[in-house]
Amino acid sequence: MRLILLGPPGAGKGTQAQRLVQKYGIIQLSTGEMLRAAVAAETPIGLQAKDIMSSGALVPDEVVVGIISDRLDQPDMKNGFILDGFPRTVPQAAALDELLKKKHIKLDAVVELRVNESALLDRVETRVAEMRARGEDVRIDDTPEVLSKRLANYRSQTEPLIHYYSERRKLLTVDGMMTIEHVTREINRILAAIGAGEPKAATPAAPAKRSAPAARKTAKPAGKKPAKTAKKAVKKAPKAGKSASKGTKKVASAAKGKGAKKAKKAAKKVAKKTTRKAAKKVTKKRAKR
């Protein structure tokens, strides 16, 4: 599954991305988190991005696109990804389309979390007040002042993506003002509706050429019938030497299946008896002479 989460800052994209990661076993690609990590590590890119992020402006496209391109080449991207915070402009979206096309990667959907901006500002003010009351550090880009600038940037630069992806039939819109649980359920519902993340149905097994009952009917039972055939053959066995051996062969060939062994034994007994009788007759004739 390969998704983009679209929505203004504070809409809950990060929270929903984490839930999708847990449900589908995919990777979250948050450009914001990657850049913040670079700022914390004081890398050259991080120091460059620090001033840009604190002012609420956008990080240059070439930096973000380069980060994403390298990340998509990692082995853990096999199951898919969620892009959170990118693209933010139509040119970025076009650059992403080219990047995915070059890497032969298909984008499944763009999920938009639609929210009320004034409600977002209230949320941020409440969150910042709570964090300060607990003595926690507040992110430089997570204050009402910075959020107001970011919302203005979102309206002017990012909102056009709604039309961009709608034209390409990739856009799925969810009411982001619902509770977190309701938003999660709605995202899962619409993803299931388009078949994103669903396991492929197993190919049905080819039907058997002949059913089991039919096979039973056509199979010739072994046991009683071959035994009866053997008995009939024994009765017809010749009464003297060479003829007796021929009779034995006939009995053996007539007996098939499970009754073959019994038939052979019976044939041998008959052969012995007939041979003895024939020998006695010959002896008697010679004695008379």
- Quickly tell me which residue has 């948050």 as its tokens: 30
- Residue 206 lies inside a defined structural domain of this protein: no
The count of structural domains within the chain is: 2
Full pLDDT tens readout for the chain, 289 residues: 999 999 988 888 889 999 999 999 999 987 777 777 777 878 777 777 787 777 777 778 877 777 788 788 888 888 999 998 789 899 999 999 999 999 999 999 999 999 998 888 887 888 888 888 888 887 776 778 888 888 898 899 999 999 999 999 999 999 999 999 999 999 999 999 988 755 444 334 444 444 444 444 444 444 444 444 444 544 444 444 444 444 444 444 444 444 555 655 665 665 666 666 665 665 555 555 5
Cα 110 to chain center, whole Å? 21
Helix H or strand E segment including 28: strand 27-30
Q: Are 18 and 104 part of one and the same domain?
A: yes
Domain of residue 48: give its range: 2-194
Q: Are 226 and 132 part of one and the same domain?
A: no
CB 55 within 8 A of CB 1: no
- Residue 202 lies inside a defined structural domain of this protein: no
- CATH number of the CATH domain containing 97: 3.40.50.300
- Residue 66 lies inside a defined structural domain of this protein: yes
CB 35 within 8 A of CB 60: no
Residues labelled as active-site residues: 13, 88, 127, 139, 150
- Residue 236 lies inside a defined structural domain of this protein: yes
CB 140 within 8 A of CB 53: yes
Residue 92, Cβ density class (10 Å: 0-12 exposed, 13-18 middle, ≥19 buried): buried
Smallest Cα–Cα separation from 173: which of 127, 214, 115? 115
CB 86 within 8 A of CB 69: no
Integer Cα distance of 175 and 119 in angstroms: 13
